Structure 1
């Protein structure tokens, strides 16, 4: 009989993330450095465990009209079908058509952070996304409607008591328009996700692992990004 334990493996994954976030909070004094440290922990988690069709980076998002999003802490985007990703002096810019999900990451969750994350998510969803017809052996498929961009929030702790109670639910439901959040994790306490206009707040368990599995499931149902109209971007070469 094997000595392996799946429950131990999954628990260890969560404990590693929680330990690293706690260490960032305890050892890094400068707020900016502390924020960068937290982002790096989440970037490493998603970059390691999401399927290879996805890539994760801190980035700006641009559309074919030259509109840019705010800088996003974690952008989950397609790398298999995306023809260009710009890296300029440490900054990453990705086309809007390639985006699957965007996250804001901070050390502590509060109402201000949720509002800030909602604004960041909205800045991506407002961008235009092209979609071309898809040729196949028997003809051409109609242009695929762009997938819905998932929006989320990530933190180590919560300012509320209880950490995942009604004040959190109230903050999440304050914006159900283009900035609405779909999923999140408070690594020390639990995770949350949206079902229609209702938010499920799940305490205890192994929050980081549970969040990761829920995100992968949501990405599976998102499907594949549309075929980008690269010529819509190429017109900027003339300018």
Structure 2
């Protein structure tokens, strides 16, 4: 009989995430340092556990019209089919077509941080994305419809009590189509997910929130399919400017 325990493995995963986020919150006095440490925990989590077709980094997003997003704490993007990712003076710049999901990582959630995350998400979703027909041996597939970009917020704590109660719901409900948050995690308490069928939020207060959130994110990415075929020539036009 095997001595392995799946429940213990999952518990260990959650404890590792929870402990690292808690340490980053308690061990640093400077808010910027705290924020950077928290981002790094989430980035390493995604890099370690997401399928290799996805990568996660802090980045700006650019479109073929030359418009840029604000800097995003965590961009989850395609690396298998993305033809180029820019790295300039220590900054990463990702074409809009390559983006699957974007998150803001904060120490604690409150109304201001929700609004802040919504604005960051909107700055990416408003960018232009191209999509070309896809050739294959038997002909050409039509251009893929653009998959909605997931957006959310990741924190360790909440300024509200209860953490996932009425106040959080009211803050999340103040949105339009561009800035709506699809999911998020308050690692010390639970996570939330937007039900796309009725645009209502579901809140989950479980014993292992970070792990539950990670599994929910992977599930949503699975249903996102593959990013569209990028129109390289739309970007190449800028070479003559």
Structure 2 Cα separation of the partners of residues 221 and 204 of structure 1: 24
**2:231 is matched with which residue?**
229
**Structure 1 residue 139: Cα displacement:** 1.4
What aligned pairs does 1:72-83 form with structure 2 within 5 A after superposition? 72-83=72-83
Deviation per CA, 1:84-107: give whole Å up to 9, x if none.
Answer: 101112210000000000000000
Give unmatched runs, 5+ long, in structure 2.
none
Structure 1 Cα separation of the partners of residues 234 and 138 of structure 2: 26
**2:31 is matched with which residue?**
31
Give the total of aligned pairs.
Answer: 239
**2:218 is matched with which residue?**
216
**Structure 1 residue 138: Cα displacement:** 2.0
**1:200 is matched with which residue?**
202
2:25 aligned with 1:13: no
Find the residue that maps to 1:81 and give its secondary structure.
Answer: coil
Find the residue that maps to 2:118 and give its secondary structure.
Answer: helix
**1:166 is matched with which residue?**
166
- Residue range with higher mean Cα deviation, 172-181 or 61-70: 172-181
Structure 1 Cα separation of the partners of residues 88 and 2 of structure 2: 49
Structure 1 Cα separation of the partners of residues 5 and 66 of structure 2: 51
Structure 2 Cα separation of the partners of residues 32 and 44 of structure 1: 18
**1:190 is matched with which residue?**
190
**Structure 1 residue 140: Cα displacement:** 1.0
Q: TM-score, normalised by structure 1?
A: 0.99
2:63 aligned with 1:51: no
Q: TM-score, normalised by structure 2?
A: 0.98
Structure 1 Cα separation of the partners of residues 140 and 22 of structure 2: 52
Structure 1 Cα separation of the partners of residues 85 and 139 of structure 2: 30
Find the residue that maps to 2:65 and give its secondary structure.
Answer: coil
Hey, which bits of structure 1, 4+ residues long, moved more than 4 A?
none
Deviation per CA, 1:207-229: give whole Å up to 9, x if none.
Answer: 01000000000000110000000
Structure 2 Cα separation of the partners of residues 88 and 3 of structure 1: 49
